[in-house]
Chain A
């Protein structure tokens, strides 16, 4: 069976693409063979995995690819069950669009802030263009760093209705444990009790995207 390909994209930086990619892949790897493709020249995914201690390596391999991304992804689909592509925070190089042309789903992490919402408008346009080449592409907005008591977080749903892209029911809360896991080259699954709430929300997210 060919791998399902999940691209994580947003042309705005700081929305949590790499954090989502790493933890999503860690969760998927508990189900089946998974690979992270670092398509971001900043190489954050590789740096994250490289921080893991020898006795506890990051559970998913990271490979860095920039050129011929669609061809390489197609080739790797035969060897894995899930591929997670961490896209660069730009649409200018076309790398994110290239990844999306061979993806099954694209997850768009958006912070509960006006600036992030405005930036996502352009990505939504780009996805419409990609769908000319990949009709089956399923885009989803994921609200990241939610703060349930914050008025902006609670008002997000109304704003997301303005997009032609569905929002996932399971968002991710703002949690320090995500940053801590990066510092340890790990995922929230390996952070003990402190990581459990985050691991549970990643699991719920995975359940939702695998069913959608």
Chain B
């Protein structure tokens, strides 16, 4: 049973790899141009009570 499930899982991973599209976001563009949307969200959180609480900064 274990071997059968393991074989099926391994086979499915091989298939996923074969179908994998090759385009992945270039790393160079990442570090220099982080998502503006992410910035906005993080900024909003930084002003929330959660982040202003001293409990987040115990030291």
Contacts and interface: CB of A to CB of B under 8 A. Distances in A.
What's the dominant secondary structure at chain B's contact region? helix
Contact of B24 (A49, A62, A117, A126): A126
B34 A98 contact: yes
A158 B33 CA distance: 39
Given A43-B50, A125-B20, A95 B34 contact: yes
A32 B53 CA distance: 23
Nearest to B53: A50
Contacts of B5: 151-152, 154-155
Contacts of B53: 50
Interface stretch (A127-135, A190-198, A204-212): A127-135
Interface string A46-68: 11011011100111111011111
Contacts, number: 156
Interface in B4-37: 4-10, 12-14, 16-17, 20, 22, 24-31, 33-35, 37
Interface in A96-152: 97-98, 101, 114, 117-118, 121-122, 125-126, 129-130, 132-133, 151-152
Interface stretch (A1-9, A15-23, A85-93, A174-182): A85-93
B31 A98 contact: yes
A171 interface: no
A91 B56 contact: no
Contacts of A54: 55
A122 B22 CA distance: 9
Interface residues of A, number: 55
Interface in A146-171: 151-152, 154-159, 161-163
B12 to A, nearest CB: 5
A58 to B, nearest CB: 7
Contacts of B46: 64
Given A50-B55, A91-B24, A97-B27, A156 B9 contact: yes
B2 A155 contact: yes
B18 to A, nearest CB: 10
Given A41-B41, A94-B35, A52 B55 contact: yes
17 contacts: A46-B56, A50-B53, A61-B56, A66-B39, A66-B41, A91-B24, A94-B33, A94-B35, A117-B13, A125-B24, A129-B24, A154-B6, A155-B6, A156-B9, A159-B10, A159-B12, A162-B17
